[in-house]
Amino acid sequence: MPKPRAVRLALPAVLALTTALATGCGGDSDGNEKGDLTAQQLKWKDCPAPSAAQGGGEAPSPLPAGAEWQCATMKAPLDWDEPEGDTIGIELIRAEASGDKDKRIGSLVFNFGGPGGSGITSLPAFGEEYAKLRTRYDLVSFDPRGVGRSEPVTCEDDVQLDAYYQQDATPDDAEEEQTLLDNVKSFNGACEDKAGKVLPHVATTDAARDMDLMRQVLGDDKLHYFGISYGTELGGVYAHLFPKNVGRAVFDAVVDPTESPEQGSLGQAGGFQLALENYAKDCTSKVEDCPVGDTAEDVQARIAKLLKDLDAKPLPGLGQRKLTQTAATNGIAQSLYSKDFWEYLTEGLENAYDGDGRILMALSDAMNGRNPDGTYSNIQAANVAINCADDKPRYSLEDVKAKLPEFRETSPLFGDYLAWGMLGCSDWAVDGAADHPDVSAEGSAPILVIGNTGDPATPYEGARKMVESLGDGVGIELTYKGEGHGAYDSKNKCVREAVDGYLLDGKEPKARTVCS
């Protein structure tokens, strides 16, 4: 069921908001499918338009000075416990280093989060922001297994997904509770029917092993890595499994590796509540009148009333779909991922108060991976599949109801939404791996770990927990006092200099540096 993801998204103009960022991937690799996969040679080609699972759209535009994006397919074992068995294709994208070849360090591999986000679509969308890093690295990203073009997990079809996301995800009585349970069971059953072969093999540990194969196929002695959001968890698991293979690595918008799924959801409730409060304070502190409330408290009270009213009577949304309480909550959460989106939230709320739910619905669609033409990417299906493969706990109706008071106290606006979201792995076909990931990485090279004090999706405290979990001498903690999900793309000069200095020149910033 839909819930905020630890993924960084880019949104275009208001009523065309979508996660379908423009790019795609395809290609072939040579090598013995049943033999040594580390010896395979990638065939880099021009990238095609993205697939439906990646979100659709056009092929990626060239970078400044005409640099082209290239795509290829890497073969990896379907089951890493049987490395000589069946293989799957892992889709890669790259832009070659722009500087002198004798100063090239190697490849810099990005994971932008999710789980379920397509690196093939995300890297070109943000590519210009990494122009300085490209002077010494090939910029590389990929669709992790289960995502986009890499053996994508699919569940319900587009029509079914429209109905699924119109459901009441915060039930108020026994009938609504049973409906929610039935819908989750149907969705998860569809995943098993359509992607059963893949579901046992999409865990983060599998993706980490894919990255080490990728490192070798790309010709690098060490994995140089930039992980954002869930990408920090993936990076931490990689460092645990392959500590001696870690090169220069940065974790930005850091997932707390010590938390259970319940604790993570509760932390997100607090994070989104804080972000909403910061938005309300910002709006009401401007010289001009805030159009959605007179005070910060008034803004939140009006939003709470809107959501209550929507539970009883949804507003017209987009097409035949209504702006429900769930869709509005989803859209508000989406808008809190970046301060750049706050203007959309203000306009969306102002319109909703006047009876027009289109903007909040478009924001909700962006969260769910729905395109304006009614098609869906597989970001949410992959998100559920990877989370359920990773997370051992399975929560019942009774578990959620027992935890609701704590969630509501943490966030009056997002508490119910995130508590009920814990049902997402109910009736899942595959057992989860652990209560939380192991990221201990003794012997690893230093990893720069950046926490953002205003981050809604991966609360700031997670960065300190990641540093502690990596072990002595591995994590270098840096704090960014800002808003939004992630720090590097805030364009803060202090953060940029610290990250660029480490990745390009190996210059380690002083531990517990604070940027504001």
Q: Which residues are catalytic?
A: 229, 455, 485
Locus of tokens 């803004």: 299
Give the whole-angstrom CA distance, residue 354 versus residue 309: 13
Residues with Cβ within 8 Å of residue 389, at least 6 apart in sequence: 199, 200, 202, 203, 204, 430, 432, 433
Cβ(40)–Cβ(57) below 8 Å: no
Give the whole-angstrom CA distance, residue 268 versus residue 278: 15
Q: Tell me phi and psi for residue 322, to 5 degrees.
A: -100, 150
Q: How far is CA 308 from CA 292, 305, 510, in A?
A: 16, 5, 48
Give the whole-angstrom CA distance, residue 487 versus residue 412: 27
Q: How far is CA 408 from CA 113, 419, 455, in A?
A: 27, 9, 20
> At 473, is the secondary structure helix, strand, or coil?
coil
Estimate to the nearest angstrom the gap between the alpha carbon of 356 and the chain centroid.
29
Cβ(119)–Cβ(142) below 8 Å: yes
**CA-CA-CA-CA torsion sign (268, 269, 273, 274):** negative
| E strand spans, 389-506 | 447-454, 475-483
Give the whole-angstrom CA distance, residue 227 versus residue 112: 6
| Omega of the bond leading into 115 within 30 degrees of 0 (cis) | yes
